[in-house]
Structure 1
Amino acid sequence: MEIPFAMPIRALIVDDEPDARENLQLMLEEHCPEVDIVGQAGSAEEARERIASDRPQALFLDIKMPGEDGFQLLRSLGGLELPVVFTTAYDEYALQAFKENALDYLEKPIDPDDLQRAVGKIARLLGEPDELAEQGRRVEALVNDPASPLSSRVAVPGRDGLQLLKQDEILYLEASDSYTTIHLTDGKRLVSSKHIRVFETNLDPRRFYRVHKSYIVNLEHLTGFSRSEGNMAVLDTGAMVPVSRRRLPEFLAMINTF
């Protein structure tokens, strides 16, 4: 295949999981020799430093990272005109959003053929400045749009069937063994046999945060934090949700950026 761009393509891999970064780099080295990996970053902060110092021409960006996620990273970078390939184990709504916005994504586990197609698209974009600028506008619109499919609905299976919830209806989630109780903003509760880890994967990481192994809170309803009550996240309904000691430093650092 003829590539309309001078090689190599300088790329940065951003993913909080070291194994995922190494696996993607090995796949690129094996299947896409035209890509030169200039570095890896395990957090949004490290990615910003790498982008400034290494000046990559493309990003392979994981969406779901603790603390500042992939979308928050892109928002902080503003109108960065680099080809972005999202790498994700996200649910069908996110994948549909990428398709509708003509954005490239790699669904984990990554398929080599999909990887080669994504690299071919990067090369074409780098050779077409107008098309690259248009992709940048689509990325910016998606990551800044709270009404996008990325933040739409969650499927909640129960005894009587399946209920679709808008994510803004969810106040917080509470795990009990393999069951999850979903506390809604109207005071109602739903109990699902789906494990809280599955919900965590399907929720918009820009809006939901796992404060404890048994709790996920909707940050849009967070109003404060109380040490006197035993390290509790305070929600606008008056509900208080425990924050684990392991999660506490990251949680406090995150809310200090609000």
Structure 2
Amino acid sequence: DARQTLSNFVKKYCPSVELVGQADGVKSGVQLIKNEAPDIIFLDVRMMDGTGFDLLDQLDKITAHIIFTTAYDEFALKAFRYSAMDYLLKPIDPDELMEAVRKATSLVDKKLKFNDVYAHLRSNLKNSGNPKIAVSDAKGITYVNFDDIVCCRSSDNYTVISLKNNSQLVATKALKEFEDVLSGLPCFRIHNTSLINMNHVVRYIRGEGGFVIMTDKTELEVSRRKKKEFLEKLGELQKL
């Protein structure tokens, strides 16, 4: 039983967390949350009588930090990643559980953070074509439409994100993390230092690797080893 396994893991690996109850469905879960007012909720996406989203929609206000648990579901996982929503993939890994709990307990303002993230998660579950991407910077989280992102460029351990309105965001994540989050969307890593939104490519200039001109007039180098794959991707987009 996955719920019992999670309970055992929490007791074993997160001894500072006190378990106050368990529920196997939406109705019983809503009642348990209202009675106990927990700080952290481990919430399965699929429940006996509905989904974790159904449960949250029945709460007047959400004051707990939610950590979703889910079996592999590519669509749901992408929505979680785009939205910076905390989740654990079954079978649950103890190290990932401990990190999720550490992160949850370190948040000072759980309510505001979760409500904001959850609103964007619901939006992304409904709109997979142009999801809102969570960009963490030194001040907090900014959500930007994928279509507004022109390119992402590495700067040490940070990533500079150029938007189509000519503004920039400096994210506190490495470029590789954005490459992982945006996989499945029309993006391509043309160089160790650059990840581009293929929909914003205006022109390709031939060369050893070549260069691309983006809609914001940025000129970016294509590495020689990425050239063949990039041109194939560009050709596929032009056929659509």
Does residue 1:124 correspond to 2:99, yes or no?
no
Cross-structure match for 1:159 = none
Does residue 1:82 correspond to 2:64, yes or no?
yes
Distance 1:124 1:22 in 2: 25
Aligned pair partner of 1:100 in 62, 82, 87: 82
Cross-structure match for 1:46 = 28
Structure 2: 5+ residue stretches without partners: 132-240
**What whole-Å deviation, never above 9, does each CA across 1:169-203 have from its counterpart, x for those lacking one?**
xxxxxxxxxxxxxxxxxxxxxxxxxxxxxxxxxxx
Is contact 1:83-1:122 (8 Å) kept? yes
Is contact 2:83-2:120 (8 Å) kept? no
Q: Map 1:154-193; keep pairs closer than 5 Å.
A: none
Cross-structure match for 1:249 = none
Runs of 4+ in 1 over 4 A off after TM superposition: none
* Count, aligned residues: 130
Distance 2:20 2:123 in 1: 28
Aligned pair partner of 1:70 in 52, 63, 88: 52
**What whole-Å deviation, never above 9, does each CA across 1:210-242 have from its counterpart, x for those lacking one?**
xxxxxxxxxxxxxxxxxxxxxxxxxxxxxxxxx
Distance 2:112 2:118 in 1: 10
Distance 1:20 1:94 in 2: 19
Superposition RMSD in Å: 2.1
Distance 2:115 2:125 in 1: 18
**What whole-Å deviation, never above 9, does each CA across 1:71-119 have from its counterpart, x for those lacking one?**
1111111431210000000312211211111111000000000000000
Residue identity over aligned pairs, in percent, reads 38
Q: Cα gap change, 1:144/1:71 in structure 2, threshold over 3 Å: closer, same or farther? A: farther
TM-score when normalising by structure 1: 0.47
Q: Cα gap change, 1:148/1:60 in structure 2, threshold over 3 Å: closer, same or farther? A: farther
Q: What amino acid sits opposite 2:106 in the alignment?
A: R
Aligned pair partner of 2:42 in 60, 81, 85: 60
Is contact 1:63-1:87 (8 Å) kept? yes
Distance 2:62 2:37 in 1: 11
Q: Map 1:1-258; keep pairs closer than 5 Å.
A: 19-125=1-107, 128-129=108-109, 132-143=111-122, 147-149=126-128
SS at match of 1:41: coil
SS at match of 2:20: strand
Q: Cα gap change, 1:117/1:146 in structure 2, threshold over 3 Å: closer, same or farther? A: closer
TM-score when normalising by structure 2: 0.50
Q: Cα gap change, 1:134/1:103 in structure 2, threshold over 3 Å: closer, same or farther? A: same
SS at match of 1:39: coil
**What whole-Å deviation, never above 9, does each CA across 1:146-182 have from its counterpart, x for those lacking one?**
52449x9xxxxxxxxxxxxxxxxxxxxxxxxxxxxxx
Is contact 1:94-1:149 (8 Å) kept? no
Distance 2:125 2:81 in 1: 17
